[in-house]
Chains A and B, each alone.
Chain A
C-alpha cells in the first residue's frame, strides 16, 4: 500500500501564454483510490492528458511504475498499464458495444490470443458492468449511463494498473452514481489503482482514500477526504470567492 505507482513531479503545462498547470506534484500509491477535484477549468483534464500522453507536459516529470513516461506515445503508456476514460464519452461509433471492448483487448491485454478468447473476455467485462444484454447493440442507441459504463468498460479491458476516470458520473442519477461507484470499488478491491476526477462531491468523498484539489492550475490542497472538505482554500475555490 505504501509503494508509489504514479509520481507526478512539478508538472507544468502551458497553452501559448496560458498556464493550465503550474508545478503540480502528487504521488499516487499502489492500490490507492485517489480523488482529483477542482472547479471547472482548473486543469484536471489537462493533468490526465499529460499522464495519458495525449499532451506532453512542458515541465516536470511523470514517473509510472518506476519509469519516466517522457516521450512515450499514449498507446505505449496504455501498454504500460495506464487506462483512462474521457469526460465526454468517445465510443467507437461504427462498432457494437462488444467490438468496442475488443479493441483494447486485441491491442493490449489479450494481444496475440484467439478472437474467441477475446470476445469471451469482452463478454465477461460486460457482465461486470451489467451490460451483457447490450453486447451486440450499436453505440448510437445507448443511454447516457450506458455510454459512461461503456467508456469505463473499455478502459477496464486494458486491464490497467492505473485507471483514470474523468468525470465518469457526470449527468447520472443518484442510483446510477451508486452503481458506478460500486463497480469502481470492486475493481479497486481486485487490485486496481484508481484516480477519480469527479464533480459530485458525495461520490468522490465516499470513494477516495485521499484527495487533491486543483484551482487555476495549482494544487491547493492534498489530504484525507474529511480534511479536504473542511479546507478553507478548497471552499474558496468552489465558492469562487
Chain B
C-alpha cells in the first residue's frame, strides 16, 4: 500500500499511457489523433522548455532551433538509412541535447535577456544552415514517405488489419503520448529532487546559489542538455507526422512563442503548469484556426500571454493556489 503511494505518480503515468493506447484501438476519427498529437507535442515541448525556463529561470527563445534540429536529424537519417522512427527519435534527442550542451556552455555567462537573445540567434543560425543544406531538402523542403507496414522489434506496428495500430496517425499519437509522459516524468523527477532545488536557487539568485555551494554551471549544463534533448525528440517525430517539412515549418516562430506561453500561462513552478497551458492554449488555438483564421492565432496567443503576465504572473496554477490559500 505504501509502495503504491510512493509510486503514485508513476502509476498515473502508466494509466495515462494505457489510456492513450486504448484510444488508438477504438477506431476514433482520425482528426482526434491529428489534433491530439498537436496538443501532446506542445505539452512535451512546453514541459521541456519549462525545465530550463521555469525551474532555472533561463528563458529560451530558441525552441524552434532545437525542434528543427530534431526534425532534420530524423530527415537526414531517413535519407541516409532505413532507421526506424524510434532510432530517429533517439538520434534527434542526442543531436539536440548536444546542441543544448553547447549552447549552455557558450552562453553560460549570459544572464536574463542576453541568454534569451543568444538562443534566438541560435535558432536563426540552425535554420540558415538547413536552408542551405540540399541533402535534407534545403529551402524547398522535403517529402517523407513513412515506411510501409513498419516493424519494431519484430512486431508489425502499423497495418490496416494485422498491425498493433491500424494507421500511422494512431501510431504517432501513441508514440507522442509516450514521449510526453516520459518528459513529464523527467520534469517532475527533476523538480522534486536535488537538481530541481539547485535550479530554483539559481533562478532566485545565481550568485548566492553559487556561494551556497550549488555548482551552478554544472546544473545549467545538465539542464540545457535535457531540455534541448527532449525538444529534439519532439521534433524528430515531426517529419513522420507532417510527411512534408520545410524550414519555415520546422523552425516556425509559433513554437518559440507557444513553448514559452504555455508554461507561463499554466504556471512555471511545477510540472503540471506546462501541461495545463498546453491543453488550454493548444485547444484554443486549434479552435481558433478552424473558426477564425490561422493568422489571428498568434495575436490571440500574444494577447492571452499579456493578460496572464499582468493578471496572474504565476500562471493559472499560481493564481489558483493563492486563491485557495485565502
The 0/1 profile, CB within 8 Å of B marked 1, for residues 145-186 of chain A is 000000000100110000000000000000000000000000
Cα–Cα distance between A4 and B216 once the two chains are bound (Å): 30
Q: Is A90 an interface residue (CB 8 A)?
A: yes
Q: Are A154 and B212 in contact (CB under 8 A)?
A: yes
Q: Are B211 and A52 in contact (CB under 8 A)?
A: yes
Residues of B in contact, count (CB < 8 Å): 20
Q: Are A74 and B204 in contact (CB under 8 A)?
A: no
Q: Is B200 an interface residue (CB 8 A)?
A: yes
Q: A54-B210, A54-B211, A106-B194 are in contact. Are A75 and B204 (CB under 8 A)?
A: no
Cross-chain contact of A90 among B194, B205, B213 (Cβ < 8 A): B205
| Segment touching B, from A13-21, A27-35, A79-87, A202-210 | A79-87
Residues of A in contact, count (CB < 8 Å): 26
Q: Are A107 and B214 in contact (CB under 8 A)?
A: yes
The secondary structure that dominates the B interface is helix
The 0/1 profile, CB within 8 Å of A marked 1, for residues 183-221 of chain B is 000000000001001101101110111111111110000
Q: Are A103 and B201 in contact (CB under 8 A)?
A: yes
Cα–Cα distance between A84 and B216 once the two chains are bound (Å): 17
Residues of B within 8 A of A104 (CB): 212-213
Q: How far is the CB of B6 from chain A (nearest CB, A)?
A: 14
| 205-219 of chain A: CB within 8 A of chain B | none
Cα–Cα distance between A158 and B214 once the two chains are bound (Å): 11
| 83-98 of chain A: CB within 8 A of chain B | 83-84, 86, 90-95
Residues of A within 8 A of B173 (CB): none
Q: Are B211 and A84 in contact (CB under 8 A)?
A: yes
Q: Is B269 an interface residue (CB 8 A)?
A: yes
The 0/1 profile, CB within 8 Å of B marked 1, for residues 46-63 of chain A is 000000101000000000
Residues of A within 8 A of B204 (CB): 91-95
Q: A73-B217, A90-B205, A92-B204 are in contact. Are A107 and B211 (CB under 8 A)?
A: no
Residue of A nearest to B200 (CB): A94
Q: Is A37 an interface residue (CB 8 A)?
A: no
Q: Are A158 and B205 in contact (CB under 8 A)?
A: no
Q: A54-B207, A86-B208, A90-B205 are in contact. Are A158 and B213 (CB under 8 A)?
A: yes
Q: A94-B200, A95-B200, A102-B197 are in contact. Are A75 and B205 (CB under 8 A)?
A: no
Cross-chain contact of B207 among A90, A94, A103 (Cβ < 8 A): A90
Q: A73-B217, A94-B269 are in contact. Are A103 and B203 (CB under 8 A)?
A: no
Residues of B within 8 A of A83 (CB): 211-212
Q: Are B200 and A92 in contact (CB under 8 A)?
A: yes
Cross-chain contact of A78 among B201, B203, B213 (Cβ < 8 A): B213
Q: Is A126 an interface residue (CB 8 A)?
A: no
Q: Are A75 and B216 in contact (CB under 8 A)?
A: yes
Residues of A within 8 A of B198 (CB): 103, 107
Q: Are B211 and A92 in contact (CB under 8 A)?
A: no
Contacts A84-B211, A92-B208, A102-B197 known; list 7 others, CB within 8 Å: A75-B211, A92-B205, A95-B204, A103-B197, A103-B214, A107-B215, A157-B212
A-B contact pairs, 30 of them (CB 8 A): A54-B207, A73-B210, A74-B207, A74-B210, A75-B213, A75-B215, A79-B213, A86-B211, A90-B208, A92-B200, A92-B204, A93-B204, A94-B203, A95-B200, A95-B201, A99-B197, A103-B201, A103-B213, A104-B212, A104-B213, A107-B194, A107-B198, A107-B212, A107-B213, A107-B214, A107-B215, A108-B212, A154-B212, A158-B212, A158-B213
